[in-house]
Amino acid sequence: MEKYNNVGTEKSARREGEETMTDVYGYVRVSSRDQNEDRQMIAMRELSVAEKNIFMDKQSGKDFERPAYKRMLRRMKKNDLLYIKSIDRLGRNYGEILEQWKMLTREKEIDIVVLDMPLLDTRRGKDLMGMFLSDIVLQVLSFVAENERSNIRQRQAEGIAAAKARGVKFGRPAIPYPDNFWEIYRDWRGKKITLREAADACEMPVGTFYGKVRKLESCN
């Protein structure tokens, strides 16, 4: 009987060992305008992260659903390890970065390594002082990342304003009035043809035709 009990104990120990085995993950995020994820992907492969454990989202700043990130979270378990290239991969702003960091490290108890900032490696300093220093560094870097994004937006806005002051036109060029516009316009106003027929005759969308009519009539 003791022999069988020992076998059962060994099997239980093996199962516990399997359940606590650390899996390594990598998360990559690029905006839809900047499709070059090569730098982040190369970093993950150099760390020998398995392809099946590399999750990537390609999204703009306005669309931040991050389906791949959510799938990764569902798979990750306590003591797993997550690599990210830079701290701003976790969020768009200071608040989001801190929220995700705390959720990953404290709620899910996952280790994180930020490759561009070696100080942010939760495998080191597991004591209270180590966690305290890591949190301070994180808050400073998150603030810097958000401040840099704000500065970029401000510089872009100032650049656009300066360009407009110089007479630079933005957006698609206006569609010129076709040669038959006046004739079509009179027929439409005289209820001889419908709005759709008028727009088709001018070879332009209904909205464009109607917009030109409104602009024309507002000037008269």
- Residues sharing a CB contact under 8 Å with residue 101, sequence separation 6 or more, in sequence order: 90, 112, 138
Report d(CA 43, CA 38) in Å as an integer: 8
Q: Which residues contact 29 (CB under 8 A, 6 or more apart)?
A: 40, 56, 57, 58, 59, 66, 69, 89
Q: Which of 12, 31, 60, 150 is catalytic?
A: 31
Name 27's bridge partners: 55, 84
Between CA 202 and CA 185 the distance in angstroms is 9
Q: Which residues contact 81 (CB under 8 A, 6 or more apart)?
A: 22, 23, 24, 25, 110, 111, 112, 113, 123
Q: In a 3-state reduction of DSSP, which class is residue 213? A: helix
Residue burial 167-189, b: 16+ Cβ < 10 Å; e: rest: eeeeeeeeeeeeeebeebbeebe
Active site residue 48: no
CB 199 within 8 A of CB 206: yes
What residues act catalytically? 31
